A = this chain, B = another copy of it.
Amino acid sequence: MPRILLRIAYDGTEYSGFQRQIETPRTIAGTVARAVTAATGEKDIEVSGASRTDAGVHALSNYAWFDTTSRIPPEKFSYVLNSKLPEDIRVIESRKVADDFTTRHLHFVKTYEYHIHNAEFPDPLQRRYAWFMHTDLDIASMSDAAQHIVGEKDFRSFCNSKSQVLTTVRTLLSAEVICTAEKMPRDITIRVRGTGFLYNMVRIIVGTLVEVGSGRLMPDDIDTIIGKKDRSVAGPTAPPQGLVLADMKIVVDTPETPGL
């Protein structure tokens, strides 16, 4: 059956994540599936995603796909689905891909951004999209620490302990700490770029960098934490609302995905 690929952006605040194994109240995938049904009349639509973002996490560029025999032209699906979707999910573009398209055939570079509002008082306009922190963070130390996580490493210490994966080795291409001002109030963005991420990896990296920024860890401690391969030695998992999948680029166009 023809397969349609969507590039989508969403505000994850009101959703219990992209997709779950068991049925959950309101997911990104389920909401897109209902919009496809409303547009095509086809029932039992299954929507798969390139990045299964967690509850409360946002995306400016994620990919989702589904099968359809509808006669809606592939590139028109973005327009048609946007008229059926709530405003917190937008389809940026749509196109036809190979019938057997899945992310296994692809290599991605993903860019995640994590936003911290570092100020004396919380900003109600940022509560859905940033982690509020009133501790004055040492940005130079955080930047220094961020360099210790760049490269091909075993990130087991930065992976949710419930995760079951064959390998916890991943490659981080870059990690930056960007700041709007020298002093509070200011907005801090932690931007990481990599070819693959473990479950909760970015949020644990952020939680650990904040430990460095608040003086409870030193930048060099990152190497020790990586070496121990133990989740309990890294920092806490930062809350979801600060995280956004900011960009996802398809870097390898393999022969298995001729439609792309």
Q: Which residues of A contact B (CB under 8 A)?
A: 9-11, 58, 60, 87-90, 92, 121-125, 127-129, 244
Contact = CB atoms under 8 A, between A and B. Distances in A.
Copies per complex? 2
A60 B127 contact: no
B123 A60 contact: yes
Contact of A89 (B9, B10, B124): B124
A125 B121 contact: no
A124 B10 CA distance: 5
Nearest to A8: B124
B88 A127 contact: yes
Contacts of A127: 11, 87-88
B60 A9 contact: no
User: Most chain-B Cβ atoms within 10 A of its Cβ — which of A58, A89, A125, A244?
Assistant: A125
12 contacts: A9-B125, A10-B124, A11-B127, A58-B124, A58-B125, A60-B123, A87-B122, A87-B124, A88-B124, A88-B127, A89-B124, A128-B128
Given A11-B127, A127-B11, A121 B58 contact: no
Contacts of A123: 9, 60, 90
